[in-house]
Structure 1
């Protein structure tokens, strides 16, 4: 049934549009650079698909902005990318980056759908979700075909059903550790994997950044990602399970930046946001108490870095403010 009135955008819908537009404009800059540097024709096809998707996502969002006569976010433009800069990442890194980009698109668009009402904004969410799913399948199949895909650990399939009988199932400190569950393993592996990609990306950004403070910010990000990787790897090693591949060797020695310091800093803060969300989901899915304590401690550490990243962007005039509600006290002043 169609509505017979034009409902104003809700705060959730404005937030969703703003987030999609800003982050897709960043991803489009990344894909433009990747497309200029990629050599493998199969990987080029995946990157081209990602670029096409980003362009369509921006176009669909712009339709709503124009229909509502709203100010379109600045986001990221030609000024934030130099496609002619020397190669900073390998083809394999670019392919895994695109796969993880698709994972984020699926998660954010899927989470946004319950919060939007208008059909045009719902269309934006559905478009991003559909294209993210298509892109992930394409990237995953290409990684598999080239022997680059990081499969999560395999464990024996259960042949009977068990029920928890003792409170020790929740314990995790000292020697009271039960084996990890399949759900806990999947979150640990995924978080080790994303931190591995994040560490390599921070290495590249640190090499290329122009501003000294920004460079130090990326070095700190690299060190934190390495620390978190080690924690997740140790949990897997204790269970005699394999860890995901690392990507440090996929970064070249170039110090010429393909991206503006503004783009790289914002990109880092979005990675932190995703990481905090991943840790929150992992905490909820991990009954073993030591895991919850680990995730809580790691969330605090990256939250502090997110705050410092926001301050860095404010100091440089890079932080675009999300649409605010009216300041009623200011409006009521005589």
Structure 2
């Protein structure tokens, strides 16, 4: 009789999320493949579909081998491939690029928190696949002129030492120009938040649920405020205005996705936003920027809690295994 291979709590969580997220990614990617006209993007999406299927099968096998129950998967019942396109090919490429970047971060964490060698090897392969997908999408976006504007700052003649503690301040006359790390975080957060907001705006348009529509519209308002803050700081520092993507949405009000799928996707994106803000908070050196990220992170965490409550209310959320059965 074959012994059951035990999993640590981290491995259970990692595999559970990999299985659930990739069962969502697989049919959603099939939908975008069906709507995409661009041949290069079509081939990239087929690669994304292929790796999603592989990662579903392997994560499922690990969980079943350990006798762990599986969460309710997403499948063809959650995606209507015959529904009209919700966005242009350009926006599809941008969305998939941002999601592949987020997946890379998740897989890196899964690798570092897993113990078993076979599971670590699985996440090492996932990392390789997500990097390959991200690079293909980056090439596509750059070729299409969508990776703009390029931001450049003056190159100093030499590295300077910080000579005054006012370097850390950020209020009124004491405010120094933002540095390269702060620019990088602002631009990264703006781009990811803009995609999140645009996606949410489309979900508000197509959901048949009045309650969820109101929830998504509230999310759009929150994220628009965040975008205004990021752009205002960049503008103060004579940096360019970053693009928005609402013009890449179509007018269709027909939803290709189930409410369960859309709400789950919003909880993932909101969780990623709070993680990004936390990372930015730890890296910025101007105090006013730290205050912004602290406040914005609190707002997305509250919105994420409201999203989780809606998941529970609608019976959409499966419970991860607990430490002790009550």
Shorter-chain TM-score tier: over 0.9
5 Å matches for 1:1-12? 8-12=6-10
How well do the aligned residues superpose, as a CA RMSD in angstroms?
1.4
- Identify the residue that residue 153 of structure 1 maps to in structure 2: 151
Provide structure 2 residue ranges, at least 5 long, that are not aligned to the other structure: none
What is the alpha-carbon distance in structure 1 between the residues aligned to residue 48 and residue 324 of structure 2? 37
2:28 corresponds to: 30
Which residue of 93, 96, 101 corresponds with 1:103?
101
Q: Is the 8 A contact 1:7 1:118 kept in 2?
A: no
Query: What is the distance in 2 between the residues matched to 1:71 and 1:45?
Result: 34
Counterpart-to-counterpart distance in 2, 1:92 and 1:148 = 8
Structure 1: give runs of 5+ residues left out of the alignment: none
Tell me if structure 2 keeps the 8 A contact 1:152–1:244.
Answer: no
Q: Is the 8 A contact 1:189 1:243 kept in 2?
A: no
TM-score by length of 2: 0.96
Q: Which residue of 2 aligns with 1:133?
A: 131
Structure 1 residue aligned with 2:186: 188
Q: In structure 2, what is the Cα distance between the partners aligned to 1:71 and 1:127?
A: 24
Q: Secondary structure at the match of 1:175?
A: helix
Match status 1:272 vs 2:270: yes
Residue equivalent to 1:238: 236
Contact 2:4 2:66 in 1 (8 A): no
TM-score (norm 1): 0.94
8 Å Cα contact 2:24-2:73 kept in structure 1: yes
Whole-angstrom CA distance in 2 between matches of 1:33 and 1:216: 26
Instruction: Give 1:1-334 correspondences, 5 Å limit.
Output: 8-150=6-148, 152-327=150-325, 330=326
1: CA distance, partners of 2:239 / 2:158:
22
Q: Distance in 2 between matches of 1:209 and 1:7?
A: 42
Compare 71-80 and 296-305 and name the one that shifted more. Answer: 71-80
Query: How much does 1:249 deviate?
Result: 0.5
**Greater mean deviation of Cα atoms: 290-299 or 236-245:** 236-245
Q: Residues 6 and 166 from structure 1, CA distance in 2 versus in 1: closer, same or farther, beyond 3 angstroms? A: farther
Question: Paired residues, what number?
Answer: 324
Q: 1 CA distance for matches of 2:155 and 2:4?
A: 53
Q: Is the 8 A contact 1:92 1:250 kept in 2?
A: yes
In the TM superposition, residue 158 of structure 1 has moved relative to its aligned partner by: 3.0
